[in-house]
């Protein structure tokens, strides 16, 4: 059920080089790069295998050490339900439910910050 996870790093270039070297022997490499221009905030590198990124790094000013966990769900309505329930439980909105085409055309996700500032997501990869 965990779709992917990500960590914040203090030096993006250094961390990218480290993970590129450290993960190569176990068959994990760069699968996707997302620029700051695409996200409107910061750049990310997605590491994975078989074309699927499942481990992400990104530079986050002021949030270093934060964790990002995305849970896969089979229907978009469940992304909406997750977001509403998380907000009702005291989470803070970090991205309303919607398409994120800079990841891929059917990427439908929602993001909330928990009480400790961790970025929790529900994501559906299937078309409507």
Q: What is the pLDDT of residues 65-84, one digit of tens each?
A: 578 999 999 999 999 999 99
- The whole-number pLDDT of residue 35 equals 86
Q: Determine if the pTM surpasses 0.85.
A: no
Superfamily of domain 1-61: 2,3-Dihydroxybiphenyl 1,2-Dioxygenase, domain 1 (3.10.180.10)
Domains of the chain, residue spans: 1-61, 66-128
Task: Give the architecture (CATH level 2) of 66-128.
Answer: Roll (3.10)
Q: Specify whether the CB–CB gap between 117 and 63 falls below 8 A.
A: yes
- Cα atoms in the 13 Å half-sphere on the side-chain side of 2: 8
Bridging pattern class, strands 2-9 and 67-72? antiparallel
Place of tokens 């490499």: 29
Q: What is the pLDDT of residues 44-60, one digit of tens each?
A: 999 999 999 999 998 87
Q: What is the pLDDT of residues 84-119, one digit of tens each?
A: 999 999 989 999 999 999 899 999 999 998 877 889
Report the C-alpha gap between 75 and 16 in whole angstroms: 33
Confidence of residue 63 (pLDDT cuts 50, 70, 90): low
Residue 31 makes CB contacts below 8 A (sequence gap 6+) with 46, 47, 48, 49, 51, 52, 53
């Amino acid at each position: 059920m965990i779709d992917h996870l990500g960590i914040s790093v203090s030096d993006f270039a250094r961390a990218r080089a480290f993970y590129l070297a450290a993960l190569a022997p176990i068959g994990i490499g760069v699968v996707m790069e997302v620029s700051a221009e695409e996200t409107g905030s910061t750049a990310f590198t997605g590491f994975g295998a078989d074309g699927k990124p499942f481990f992400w790094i990104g530079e986050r000013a002021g949030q270093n050490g934060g964790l990002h966990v995305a849970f896969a769900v089979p229907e978009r309505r469940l992304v909406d339900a997750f977001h509403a329930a998380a907000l009702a439980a005291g989470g803070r909105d970090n991205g309303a439910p919607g398409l994120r085409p800079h990841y891929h055309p059917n990427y439908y996700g929602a993001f909330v910050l928990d009480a400790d500032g961790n970025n929790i997501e529900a994501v559906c990869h299937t078309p409507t």
